[in-house]
C-alpha cells in the first residue's frame, strides 16, 4: 500500500505537467490555436506584441468582441511575470457573416488577436520571459462548438533589440491592416423610435457610400436589419433597427466604420444624446448602396401586382391569355414586359427632365390632377362597358384605347403593359417608396436604372407565367364560358372607376363629382350610339353628330370639374390637425409635445389601408392622448409644393410617409410604410 501511494505521488508532477499550458500549435475541435509573438525575443524595458493565432477549418469561424445576432465573444485570461502590463485586444475589424436570417461578426480563415505587453526593465538577459494565456472561444459553422486551451509562450530575454519573427510577420501585418484608426470626432447616438441613430462630424473628406457599421455593444441592433449610412458635408449619419433583445441604451457606444473599397477603418465612440435635426438627418431614409436600391425597386415592382389599382388591368390580360390558349404566350409576355418597361422609361424621362428644370414632382404626381383622375375614370368605365357588351370595341374610333389593351394580338399585350404602368402610379408598395425616393436624387443614369428595374418587377409575374412550360395546357379550352368570364371582368373596372371618382370628389367637391358622373353618362351614350348600325345616310350623319356632341359634353364636364377647388374639411373634431410647416415647427419648439406626421393622399391605396387598420384605431388615439403627441396630417391629394419639399427632405418623392418627432428637439424618426397599431403605439411610447 505504501509503495502504491509513493508511486501515485511520483506521478502527480507528471500528470500536472500534462494538464499545464501547452506551447506551440494546439489542435481543438475544428480549430488550431497558438500563442505567438511578433519578435523572436524580448528586451528589458521595451514592449512586445503577442497574439492569439486562430485557424478554424474551412467554413468555420470565430467571433469579434460583438458576435452579432448569435455566438459568443472570445474570453482571454493572461498570466505574466510581475510588473508586466498587458493591453486589451487590438481587435481587427471583423467580417459580416450571414447565417440564415442572422448576421454575425467574426473571422474566417487564419487570423490574429494581438495585444501589447510592456516588459519590466529589471529583467536579466539570458533568462526566459514566460506568458500564459487561457482562451475560451466558440467556433461555429451552422452548429457551434465551444473550445478552450491553456497556452504558453516562452521568449528569451536579450540585451539588444530583438529581430522580428519571420514566421509571424504576415499575421501581424494582417492585424495591422485591419486595425481601425481611432478618431476623436464628436459623435452622438439615440435609440428613439425603434432605431439606433448615430451622427458624427468628420474632420476630413470621406467616401460618400460603401461603408459598413460594426457596433461594439451586444444586443443593441438587429444586425441583419438594413443599415443606412450617408455622408454629406462632413456629417456622417447612420441608422439600424434595434434588436428585439434591446432593453436599455448604454451611456457610450463604441463602434467601427469600415470602407472595404479603400480599406479605411475608423474607431469612434458616441455619447448618448439628442441628434441634430437636419434635412438629411433621417436615418431610415439615408441612401443605401445602389444594389440595394435596385433590389428594393424590383421587390416594389413585383408587389405592385398585388395592389388594387393594378388588378383590373391584369384581369384584362388574364382574359386575353385565356382566349389565346394554344398560341405563343411567350411572345405575349415579352410584349407585355416591353410595354411596362418602356412606359416606366418614358415616365422616368419626363420626371428627370422636369427635375432638371427645377420641378419638384413625386411618384403618382399625375393622380394629383383632377383632369388625369377624371380621364382615367372615363377610360376604366368605357373599358367596363365594352366588356359588358354595351359596345363592341374595335369597330369605331372611340374604342381604340380599350381595344389596344384588350385585343389578343401582341399589340394588345404591349398596350396592356402601358396601361399597367399608368394605373400603377397611385400605389406605393413596400420597398418601392425608398427606391423611388433615392432614384429621384441619383444621377440620371442610375435613376433611369431604378425606374427600369421597377417596371421589370411589375412585369415579372406575367412574364414568368408566359414562360412557364405547360401553362397553355393547363388553361381551359375556349368556349361559351369565355363570354361569361369576359362580362365578369368588367366589374373590377367599374370598382376602379368608383374609387377614382371618390378621389376626384376629394380633390374637387360634390359639384365636381356630379359633373364627371354626367360626363360618364354622356360617354356611355356616345359608346352605345357609336355601335348602332347605319340605316341610311341621314341617320348615319345624325349618329356621328350625336357621338361627337356627347364626347364634347363629357370633355367639358371633366374640364369644369377640374377647375373646382376642394371644399375645406372640418378637422376640429378629428384626432389630427392639418399639417403646415409653421404648425410643425411650433409643436417642435414646444417641449411639452411630441409630433406624429402623416403624409397621405386619397389616391394612395397604401395610405388609406394604413389609416384604416392602424392610425384610426382606439389604441393609437389613446396613445396620442396619453403621451401628449400632436398628430399632423398632410394631404397630397392635390399638388402641394410645401408637402413635396417636405418629402424631399426625407429623400422621398411619394407617399405614404410617417415621421415621429420626440419632444425637446429629438431627432425625427421615419416609420415603416406598412403600419400596425402595435408598431405605432410602440413608436409613440418611445417619444
Same domain, 195 and 73: no
Give residue 77's domain range.
22-155
Instruction: Return the DSSP state at 178.
Output: T
Q: Which residues contact 312 (CB under 8 A, 6 or more apart)?
A: 380, 423, 492, 493, 495, 496
Pick the last residue of a domain from 233, 268, 285: 285
Pick the last residue of a domain from 492, 516, 547: 492
Domain count within the chain: 5
State residue 310's pLDDT score.
Answer: 57
Same domain, 443 and 390: yes
The answer to whether the beta carbons of residues 667 and 274 sit under 8 Å apart is yes
State residue 567's pLDDT score.
Answer: 42
| pLDDT per residue as tens digits for the range 356-408 | 554 545 555 555 667 777 777 787 788 778 777 776 644 333 334 444 555 55
Same domain, 554 and 448: no
Average pLDDT, the chain: 78
Minimum mean pLDDT range among 40-49, 332-341, 387-396: 387-396
Minimum mean pLDDT range among 50-54, 385-389, 619-623: 385-389
Pick the last residue of a domain from 492, 523, 554: 492
Same domain, 345 and 482: yes
| pLDDT per residue as tens digits for the range 338-356 | 888 888 888 777 766 765 5
DSSP string, 525-556: HHHHHHTSPP-SHHHHHHHHHHHHHHHHHHHH
Same domain, 554 and 482: no
- In this structure, which long-range contacts are made by residues 674-677, counting pairs with CB atoms below 8 Å and at least 24 apart in sequence? 674/430, 674/606, 674/610, 675/610, 675/613, 675/614, 675/615, 676/613, 676/614, 677/613, 677/614, 677/617, 677/619, 677/620
Same domain, 531 and 427: no
Minimum mean pLDDT range among 69-83, 260-274, 633-647: 633-647
Same domain, 333 and 444: yes
Amino acid at each position: 500500500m505504501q509503495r502504491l501511494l509513493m508511486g501515485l505521488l511520483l506521478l502527480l508532477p507528471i500528470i500536472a505537467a500534462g494538464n499545464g499550458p501547452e506551447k506551440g500549435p494546439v489542435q481543438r475541435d475544428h480549430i488550431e490555436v497558438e500563442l505567438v509573438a511578433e519578435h523572436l525575443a524580448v528586451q528589458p524595458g521595451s514592449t512586445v506584441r503577442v497574439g492569439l493565432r486562430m485557424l478554424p477549418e474551412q467554413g468555420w469561424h470565430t467571433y469579434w468582441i460583438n458576435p452579432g445576432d448569435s455566438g459568443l465573444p472570445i474570453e482571454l485570461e493572461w498570466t505574466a511575470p510581475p510588473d508586466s502590463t498587458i493591453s486589451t485586444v487590438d481587435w481587427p475589424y471583423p467580417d459580416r457573416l450571414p447565417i440564415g436570417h442572422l448576421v454575425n461578426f467574426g473571422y474566417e480563415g487564419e487570423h490574429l488577436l494581438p495585444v501589447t505587453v510592456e516588459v519590466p526593465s529589471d529583467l536579466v538577459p539570458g533568462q526566459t520571459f514566460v506568458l500564459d494565456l487561457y482562451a475560451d472561444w466558440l467556433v461555429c459553422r451552422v452548429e457551434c462548438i465551444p473550445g478552450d486551451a491553456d497556452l504558453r509562450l516562452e521568449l528569451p530575454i536579450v540585451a539588444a533589440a530583438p529581430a522580428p519573427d519571420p514566421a509571424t510577420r504576415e499575421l501581424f501585418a494582417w492585424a495591422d491592416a485591419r486595425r481601425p484608426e481611432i478618431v476623436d470626432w464628436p459623435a452622438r447616438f439615440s435609440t428613439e423610435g425603434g432605431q439606433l441613430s448615430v451622427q458624427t462630424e468628420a474632420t476630413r473628406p470621406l467616401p460618400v457610400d460603401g461603408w459598413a457599421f460594426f457596433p461594439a455593444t451586444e444586443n443593441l441592433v438587429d444586425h441583419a436589419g438594413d443599415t443606412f449610412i450617408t455622408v454629406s458635408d462632413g456629417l456622417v449619419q447612420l441608422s439600424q433597427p434595434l434588436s428585439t433583445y434591446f432593453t436599455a441604451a448604454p451611456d457610450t457606444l463604441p463602434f467601427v466604420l469600415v470602407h472595404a473599397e479603400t480599406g479605411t477603418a475608423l474607431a469612434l465612440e458616441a455619447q448618448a444624446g439628442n441628434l441634430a435635426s437636419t434635412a438629411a438627418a433621417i436615418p431610415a431614409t439615408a441612401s443605401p448602396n445602389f444594389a440595394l436600391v435596385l433590389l428594393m425597386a424590383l421587390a416594389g415592382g413585383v408587389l405592385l401586382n398585388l395592389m388594387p389599382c393594378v388588378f383590373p388591368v391584369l384581369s384584362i390580360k388574364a382574359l386575353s391569355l385565356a382566349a389565346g390558349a394554344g398560341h405563343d404566350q411567350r411572345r405575349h409576355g415579352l410584349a407585355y414586359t416591353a410595354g411596362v418597361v418602356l412606359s416606366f422609361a418614358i415616365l422616368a424621362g419626363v420626371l428627370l427632365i422636369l427635375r432638371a428644370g427645377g420641378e419638384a414632382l413625386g411618384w403618382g404626381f399625375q393622380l394629383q390632377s383632377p383632369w388625369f383622375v377624371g380621364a382615367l375614370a372615363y377610360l376604366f368605365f368605357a373599358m367596363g362597358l365594352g366588356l359588358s357588351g354595351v359596345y363592341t370595341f374595335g369597330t369605331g374610333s372611340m374604342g381604340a384605347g380599350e381595344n389596344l389593351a384588350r385585343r389578343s394580338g401582341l399589340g394588345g399585350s404591349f398596350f396592356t403593359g402601358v396601361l399597367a404602368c399608368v394605373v400603377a402610379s397611385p400605389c406605393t408598395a413596400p420597398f418601392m417608396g425608398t427606391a423611388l425616393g433615392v432614384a429621384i436624387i441619383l444621377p440620371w443614369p442610375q435613376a433611369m436604372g431604378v425606374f427600369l428595374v421597377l417596371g421589370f418587377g411589375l412585369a415579372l409575374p406575367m412574364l414568368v407565367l408566359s414562360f412557364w412550360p405547360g401553362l397553355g395546357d393547363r388553361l381551359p379550352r375556349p368556349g361559351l364560358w369565355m363570354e361569361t368570364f369576359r362580362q365578369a371582368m368588367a366589374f373590377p373596372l367599374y370598382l376602379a372607376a368608383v374609387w377614382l371618382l371618390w378621389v376626384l370628389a376629394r380633390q374637387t367637391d360634390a359639384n365636381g363629382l356630379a359633373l364627371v358622373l354626367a360626363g360618364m353618362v354622356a360617354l356611355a351614350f356616345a359608346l352605345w350610339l357609336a355601335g348602332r348600325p347605319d340605316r341610311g345616310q341621314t341617320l348615319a350623319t345624325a349618329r356621328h353628330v350625336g357621338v361627337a356632341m356627347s364626347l364634347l359634353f363629357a370633355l367639358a364636364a371633366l374640364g369644369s370639374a377640374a377647375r373646382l377647388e376642394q371644399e375645406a374639411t372640418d378637422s376640429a373634431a378629428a384626432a389630427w390637425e392639418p399639417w403646415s410647416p409653421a404648425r410643425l415647427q411650433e409643436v417642435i419648439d414646444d417641449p411639452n409635445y411630441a409630433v406624429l406626421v402623416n403624409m397621405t393622399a386619397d389616391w394612395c391605396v397604401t395610405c388609406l389601408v394604413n389609416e384604416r387598420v392602424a392610425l384610426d384605431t382606439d389604441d393609437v388615439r389613446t396613445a396620442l392622448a396619453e403621451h401628449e403627441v400632436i398628430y399632423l396630417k398632410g394631404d397630397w391629394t392635390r399638388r402641394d409644393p410645401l408637402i413635396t419639399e417636405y418629402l424631399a427632405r426625407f429623400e422621398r418623392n411619394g407617399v405614404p410617409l410617417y415621421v415621429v418627432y420626440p419632444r425637446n428637439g429629438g431627432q425625427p424618426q421615419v416609420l415603416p410604410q406598412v403600419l400596425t397599431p402595435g408598431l405605432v403605439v410602440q413608436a409613440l411610447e418611445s417619444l
